[in-house]
Amino acid sequence: LVPSAQHLLYLKSSHQATANFTADTAAKFLVDKVVLQYGVSKQLLTDRETHFMANVFETVASRCGVKHITTTTYYPQCNGLTERFNATLVDSIGTYVNLQQSDWDDYLPYVTFAYNTPKQSTTQMEPFKSMYGRDAILPFDVPSQITKLFSVKDYYSQLARFLQQATSTAWYNIKQKQNIYKKI
């Protein structure tokens, strides 16, 4: 299981693990599943596993313009958001798997999507909406409720305004939660 996160927006993605996870597969994952799906991020936080510390991974990250940072050795709390998501994911998948626990990977995309669509308590926003600028359209949604825009320019303008507002709102809500936790 390989989680990745956009921490401000809290959108989570998860991918089936491979039995042969090497530096080459880690580098390929970085390009195929992160850069090509979400674009280049400024930083990438990983643990200190050998496949992330290998020259091939570091070179690919550097050439993509990604600053690779790592967690502190033997201190997984450094990557607390990912560790917490992993625990939530395991608990959620556990309610669906068969007795042999051999089909957990079948539920991975569904559980991840279910995590990303409700409002999160810290940001007071849905991670899916924060990332894509719109509500997730589910199979049972009525087609007439889908927003129709007249042009690509209108869509882009609306999306840019929404994402700017969403980022400001998310930061505001994060600060509010931090202030509450400081008082506790």
Instruction: Please name the residue that has the structure tokens 């051999």.
Output: 102
pLDDT at 26 exceeding the cut of 60: yes
Class of the domain covering 1-116: alpha beta
Backbone angles phi, psi at 175, to 5 degrees: -60, -40
Tell which residue, 50, 48, 39, has the closest CA to residue 11: 39
Q: Could you report the per-residue pLDDT of 122-156, keeping only the tens digit for each?
A: 888 888 888 888 888 887 776 655 566 668 788 77
What pLDDT does 9 receive?
52
Maximum CA extent, the chain: 54
pLDDT tens, 64-116? 999 998 888 777 667 777 788 888 888 888 888 888 988 888 888 888 898 88
Helix (H, G, I), strand (E, B) or coil at 103: coil
Question: Alpha carbon of 176 to those of 82, 116, 164: distances in Å?
Answer: 22, 21, 19
Amino acid of residue 30: L
pLDDT higher at 6 or 180 = 180
Q: Token digits for 94? A: 């556990």
> Which ranges of 64-103 does DSSP label H, i.e. alpha helix?
80-94
pLDDT band at 5 (very low <50, low <70, confident <90, very high): very low
More confident residue, 161 or 62: 62
pLDDT value for 1: 45
The predicted structure's pLDDT at residue 143 = 63
| Domain range annotation of the chain | 1-116, 119-184
Report field, pTM of the whole predicted structure over 0.85: no
Q: Is the pLDDT of residue 4 over 60?
A: no
